[in-house]
Structure 1
């Protein structure tokens, strides 16, 4: 499989980045709502953590669909640019967070030489993104000031959220999209076609 990106792959990656950039911005409001609900119970720090996997999903979906080096990082960064352009409260600093999250997602695929896109690798990508982003947020978001038990607890919740939302749900959404036939010209679509031919043989 060639590692060079085709124009149609760049277009699809960009579309995914734009769509999820909008979704990410919407989920910022969702996170605020969850945070306000948990605040009276002293659990406000978990408000965003329970849904944090949402902010990694485009990197994993794009990588799973296109299967090329750099796709996870680029798709996540594009989503970050869209969020900033749409007026995210996080401001331009969000671009650095997006780059760090994209790098975290890319790490798992790099460890396989960008050759393994099974569910366990997608879940690992979500987990690696969660850990890398959490390490960054410890200082950039001041989380290091939290009680040790709260730091550990929020990390665990972020890891679970990333594994389930970006890994498991990301794969499921991509597979459903492939089932429609719109991904026929991409790696995931071609894999699905091969499976169908094998099953019908």
Structure 2
């Protein structure tokens, strides 16, 4: 983080706090979906729990943004009283590693929609592998587990990747991100249009 500017750290932390609250608010939604669809209910919306890593990385475009924002968001959830408890911080770190891996694969130089969606899928993969061992997925039918995995990856791509890009682009259009990599890219694109 030695090449990070102070305002980048502040924005990343602010995003993490906001999405930590959002994440906590989505637990009841997940519980309702589980009531209707069984364990796969959470996977339908699991991408929401990866979204800050995509948004922070897309806006700031520095190594570590995805991992740190996801980890801080998990800490916020714990501080606000998540029933999962401190283990949630490890979950956030695992999700952040999965998202960060997609950006690392491009050496933090490509923030196209496909890479953002890939980061959502990466977070889905790492979180699912962890969940498989911690949450007892092995006791479920293997076809059902495969369906859960596929649904989580689609959710990561669409909710975290696609929606994360849309939200970030919307912020860039307002001008509030003019001093960040995404805002500069948006201004450059607007001038050339």
> Which TM bucket (shorter chain)?
over 0.9
Q: Does 1:72 align with 2:66?
A: yes
SS of match in other structure, 1:49: helix
- What pairs up with 1:22-41 in 2 under 5 angstroms? 22-38=21-37
What residue number does 2:51 align with? 57
What residue number does 1:137 align with? 131
**Matches of 2:166 and 2:125 in 1, distance apart?**
23
Q: Which runs of 4+ in 1 moved over 6 A?
A: none
Shift of 1:37: 2.3
What residue number does 1:48 align with? 42
What residue number does 2:7 align with? 8
**Matches of 1:112 and 1:31 in 2, distance apart?**
33
Highest Rg: 1 or 2? 1
Unaligned ranges ≥5, structure 1: 39-43
**Matches of 1:143 and 1:82 in 2, distance apart?**
27
TM-score (norm 1): 0.94
Unaligned ranges ≥5, structure 2: none
Q: Does 1:187 align with 2:181?
A: yes
Q: Does 1:156 align with 2:150?
A: yes
Shift of 1:3: 7.4
| Equivalent residues of 1:3, 1:69 under 8 A apart | no
Shift of 1:121: 0.3
**Matches of 2:2 and 2:145 in 1, distance apart?**
39
What do residues 45-104 of structure 1 show as CA deviations (whole Å, max 9, x unaligned)?
Answer: 111000000000000000000000000000000100000000001000001100000000
**Matches of 1:48 and 1:105 in 2, distance apart?**
19
